[in-house]
Structure 1
């Protein structure tokens, strides 16, 4: 059961932040925006996240209806994650947050470790 089912919300922002808030959920959704990924691929892209935390965040995103978990009956087990229709609906919001972060970094002279050609492609929604 999703944690949102047992709570009465009085603000849409409160509900949204309960669903996508935290250090990792938006980043997980961001990495799934254009592709299906296996657990190990997500772990590699996220770097410092622990296996336990990634598992927990994926379960919560699945419970909240933002990602699909596809298990293939084979040995070794293969599990893939992708966005649901609701997960896809949050991507334009994440693009806005991403671009805001880039402008914030520029305005406050903060360094981003992202090649400029990648930044441009993401801002132009090419990747």
Structure 2
């Protein structure tokens, strides 16, 4: 009587997300960068590669499960690369790909629009760091300041 080992759930190939509106570039872009934490992760990785624990410390409000999920989606969309640095248990470093770096100007425009929106509609004041595109809104999001 032989028993076959089952592969852990994490070893199955990931399915590609379907575009909600086929052929629409806007929905494709929103699927790639539209997660709650994705742009924050992109900002954190803009300064260089980071391992998972460093990313988690820089985003204290995100759970490990959600951060791992967001990183997998960013990796599947070609925005983030994942590199193991040795044998198991290896430190894994995440970094932006060239395609991921192309998101930074878009994210900066979204940040600027957010500032204008706050000013126009009286949203909570955000301690914005000005021209630094990797800055976060500490008071509004509860995130730690960028190192």
Q: What's the RMSD between the two structures over aligned residues?
A: 2.4
Cα deviation digits, residues 85-127 of structure 1 (max 9, x gap) = 1101111000111122223233325221x3x6xx12416x9x9
Give the corresponding residue for 1:45: 58
Give the corresponding residue for 2:125: 111
Match of 1:71 among 57, 61, 84: 84
- Alignment TM-score, normalising by the size of structure 2: 0.71
Cα deviation digits, residues 49-72 of structure 1 (max 9, x gap) = 111111111111111100011111
Q: Is structure 2 residue 31 aligned with structure 1 residue 30?
A: no
Seen in structure 2, the aligned counterparts of structure 1 residues 20 and 55 have a Cα distance that, compared at 3 Å, is same
Higher mean C-alpha displacement, 61-70 vs 6-15: 6-15
Contact preservation (8 Å) 2:35, 2:70: no
Match of 1:100 among 91, 100, 113: 113
- Give SS of 2:35's match: coil
- Alignment TM-score, normalising by the size of structure 1: 0.80
- Give SS of 1:82's match: strand
Give the corresponding residue for 1:60: 73
Any unmatched runs of 5+ in structure 1? none
Deviation at 1:75, TM superposition (A): 6.7
Any unmatched runs of 5+ in structure 2? 1-13, 136-145
Q: If each structure's helix is expressed as a fraction of its own residues, which one has the higher value?
A: 1
Give the corresponding residue for 1:10: 23
Larger Cα-atom Rg? 2
Q: Distance in 2 between matches of 1:18 and 1:121?
A: 26
Moved over 4 A (4+): none
